[in-house]
Structure 1
Amino acid sequence: MEETKNNNSEKLWTKSYFLTFFYAMSTQISNNMLMTGLPLYAIHLGGDNSISGMLFGFFMFVAILFRPYFGKLIDEKSRRIVLIIGAVVTAFITLSYVVAFSISLLLVMRSLHGIGFSATTNASGSVISDIVPKSRLAEGVGYFGLSNTLATAIGPALSIYLIQQFNYQTLFIVAGLIGLISILCSLMITYEKDNQKDIIQSSKRKRKISELLYEKTALPTALVTAFVYVGMGVALTFIPTFALSLGIKDIGLYYTVYSVALLFTRIVGGKLADKYGSSLVIIPGLVCMTFSFVVLAYANSLGDFIFSGVLFGLGLGFVEPALNAVMIKLCPPDRRGAGNSTFFTAKDLGGGVGAICLGFISLQAGFKAVFLYSALSIIVAFFAYVFILRRQLKNVKRAESSQIQASMSIES
């Protein structure tokens, strides 16, 4: 009887887990549809590549600004409230793009959309950390990451299909309707009501603003992550426009093969990192990502794009989960929430700054320069990992070994 009870208490795929998974997947499908479609829509309205970069950058910067506020609300009030806020804002703004007939209005609406993105990512990550059994934390968080992988496989390809077969207004309506799924999921997530005292901290607890903004032990990981995500911002923002300039159709295949490769390495990468160390997956992953952008810089056919997508997916699938695991390992247990916030902010900053800066570079030097600069950014991430983050890991390992030896000496 005791063994059965233990197994039940360690159940992973609970109602709340399923609902949070589909909540995250629906919001990310909607977001990825717009990440791909809005740059093309901006050009349709008369904008240029700098506007495409600004759409991504403003979206990310607003998300960063609201992360501390939503983090405080999550800790002191309710995860569910923030889940609902994020879902409603995301669905409403997505549907509102139907009436965005000017570049200025599009930029304003995209900026407001960042509020919804900030709320959904912060809250869903916190819910997962609540409901996943501690003994299956890595497994549960890893499977949850597949919601984003599947969204990346579906969103961009669906976006391009709707644009080619129908029009941009159809894209916005479909993306908005998919976003409505997340509202239904958020309303059905009720685990918090049953465990209010255990899950939500006392609202009387005051936190310094610096504690909300970053965790110092996560900063080296964040540095590497920021340079990696310059490439992610470029992949989502400029590849469809670049393919259009070359007259290449069916560019949605890039995102499909990228997602399949990402899915594969996400599944095997974590086990390899646990068994052989993070360097075994992070370093080859960064090499793959670098070459993916070099291939893009000289691409002139759909086959080149597909090859690049495979390399990028393999690389990111190895690098991102391993960096996330390193961040959790280095953070004190009572600061992992702040560590996650630092990690997400690094993603937002890398993608946002990269998209804006490289958008202007594309106007002056073309897409070839954009992708070569993206490759350079991954190379910087490589050196940041080797000379900063890996040294931090070694120092932590030495400290742990010293503690073990000291405790053994005391016992003997």
Structure 2
Amino acid sequence: MNKEPLWTKNFISVSASNFFLFVTFYFLLVTMPIYALRELGGDAADAGLLTTFFLVSAIIIRPFAGQWIEKVGKKKILIASQIIFLAASTLYFFPHTLETMLTLRFFHGIGFGMATTATGAMVAEIIPDSRRGEGMGYYVMSTNLAMVIGPFLGLTVMKEWGSFVMFLICIVISALALTAGLMTNIVERKHTVRAISIFQLKFNPRDLFEFSVLPIAVTGGFFSIIYASLLSFVSVYAEELHLGAIASYFFVVYAVVLLLSRPFTGKWFDQKGAHVIVYPAIILFSAGMFVLSQTETALVFLVAAGMIGLGWGTLFPSFQTIAIQEAPPEKKAVATATFLSIYDLGIGVGSFIIGWAITGMSFSSLYMYCAFYILGGLFVYFLLYGRQDKKAREMEKAEHQIV
């Protein structure tokens, strides 16, 4: 039996579009705080607000983006959002005060939130059902690769050529995201919606969120709180251990392990089901954080990166795949928005909690506590999703026996 094709032109172009969106995101994530401190006269708290404003607008817009996608189609919303994203990227030369830069970051986050919701909804339709776990794994890997390339490129460009060239490159990357989006063509149902009705949004919670995905979305948010500790502080921890020279390699190893494992983990998800993948991945993620907490040498630091990459790098696409599977076909866009909004909320909450917690303990203690927190995620996953899924499978088996 021949497999349905996965690496189609549409799958590659939408993954490429997602990749360039996230390269821009991570490119600016690591450089804007430095820019705020050096050129806008801000302090550390002000620098943090530049990321907060971006994420807040992305979280706010996603539920509405899901409605717009259902009204006018995925491709139109993707292109419109990427035009907003590119337009915002061209404006970074102009703000000279923190207030105007915060306004721009909020505007930029709107484009990002809409675009990532649209790409997530598009890829959910493009991937064959029989290869959903495998396909989502590769799609999410485009985000993980961006997480490596974006910060490395951003810090290098800012150090060598300064903020003017940094903003020019940001425009180029955003334009590449739009180009890749334009190359994506999917068959959609014909939408006969008047232009004014696009702005007639529904504010009922059932229209803004897809409740069927809340259990797995909350589970993902539970874990993303800890992932925030890696995004924000693993490089600072490396400096404390006198391993600053290899800090940038943490996410390189993370991505390499993902790249090597993805052909296997995605297929196992499709063939064996979510639980066979999720439970071991949680344990591996926890073990990786514990090893990180005990790090004293470069080798152990990078081994921890590989374990975390295999653990969390497997969990996130698995959770997103489950979210898409749980939602009815006509609600996949809203389901994607719901999942990503709660995931980003976890990142935002985690950044605040971890930043507060680190004032009273060492990084080593912090990451050790994180390891035990992640183990608690075994019960969170079971209670919120695993238990219900088990009941559903037992009912389905009983129905087959009756027939």
Counterpart residue identity of residue 144, structure 2? T
Change (3 A) 1:267 1:173: same
Q: Spell out the pairing of 1:136-175 with structure 2 (5 A cutoff).
A: 136-175=131-170
Q: Spell out the pairing of 1:176-325 with structure 2 (5 A cutoff).
A: 176-189=171-184, 191=185, 195-196=187-188, 198=189, 200=191, 209-244=204-239, 248-297=244-293, 299=295, 302-325=298-321
Aligned residues: 397
Which one of 56, 60, 63 corresponds to residue 61 of structure 1? 56
Deviates more, 1:201-210 or 1:288-297: 201-210
Q: Measure the CA separation in 1 of the matches of 2:45 and 2:361.
A: 12
Equivalent residues of 2:221, 2:346 under 8 A apart: yes
Q: Give the equivalent residue in structure 2 for 1:86.
A: 81
Q: CA deviation at 1:281?
A: 2.2
Equivalent residues of 2:136, 2:317 under 8 A apart: no
Tell me whether 1:19 sits opposite 2:13 in the alignment.
yes
Cα deviation per residue 1:173-205 (whole Å; 9 max; x = unaligned)? Answer: 32331111112233344x35xx45x26486789
Counterpart residue identity of residue 314, structure 2? F
Equivalent residues of 2:289, 2:304 under 8 A apart: yes
Q: Measure the CA separation in 2 of the matches of 1:366 and 1:95.
A: 41
Q: Measure the CA separation in 1 of the matches of 2:265 and 2:5.
A: 24
Q: CA deviation at 1:404?
A: 1.9
Q: CA deviation at 1:128?
A: 2.2
Counterpart residue identity of residue 257, structure 1? V
Q: Measure the CA separation in 1 of the matches of 2:204 and 2:156.
A: 44
Q: Give unmatched runs, 5+ long, in structure 2.
A: none
Q: CA deviation at 1:297?
A: 4.2
Q: Give the equivalent residue in structure 1 for 2:25.
A: 31
SS in 1 for 2:245: coil
Q: Spell out the pairing of 1:315-394 with structure 2 (5 A cutoff).
A: 315-363=311-359, 365=361, 367-368=363-364, 370-372=366-368, 374-394=370-390
Cα deviation per residue 1:23-62 (whole Å; 9 max; x = unaligned)? Answer: 1111111112222333444454665655555444332222
Change (3 A) 1:58 1:293: farther
SS in 2 for 1:249: helix
Equivalent residues of 1:296, 1:304 under 8 A apart: yes
Deviates more, 1:301-310 or 1:100-109: 100-109
Counterpart residue identity of residue 383, structure 2? F
Q: CA deviation at 1:228?
A: 1.2
Counterpart residue identity of residue 112, structure 1? F
Q: CA deviation at 1:74?
A: 1.1
TM-score, normalised via structure 1 length? 0.83
Q: Measure the CA separation in 1 of the matches of 2:365 and 2:249.
A: 23
Equivalent residues of 1:53, 1:359 under 8 A apart: no
Equivalent residues of 1:54, 1:356 under 8 A apart: no
Equivalent residues of 1:28, 1:148 under 8 A apart: yes
Equivalent residues of 1:70, 1:122 under 8 A apart: yes
Equivalent residues of 1:74, 1:123 under 8 A apart: yes
Q: Percent identity?
A: 27
Change (3 A) 1:128 1:175: same
Q: Give unmatched runs, 5+ long, in structure 1.
A: none
Q: Measure the CA separation in 2 of the matches of 1:254 and 1:107.
A: 30
Q: Measure the CA separation in 2 of the matches of 1:302 and 1:44.
A: 31
Q: CA deviation at 1:351?
A: 0.8
Equivalent residues of 2:213, 2:326 under 8 A apart: yes
TM-score, normalised via structure 2 length? 0.84
Counterpart residue identity of residue 109, structure 1? L
Counterpart residue identity of residue 59, structure 1? F
Q: CA deviation at 1:101?
A: 5.1
Equivalent residues of 1:264, 1:314 under 8 A apart: no
Deviates more, 1:222-231 or 1:99-108: 99-108
Equivalent residues of 1:49, 1:363 under 8 A apart: no
Change (3 A) 1:131 1:278: closer
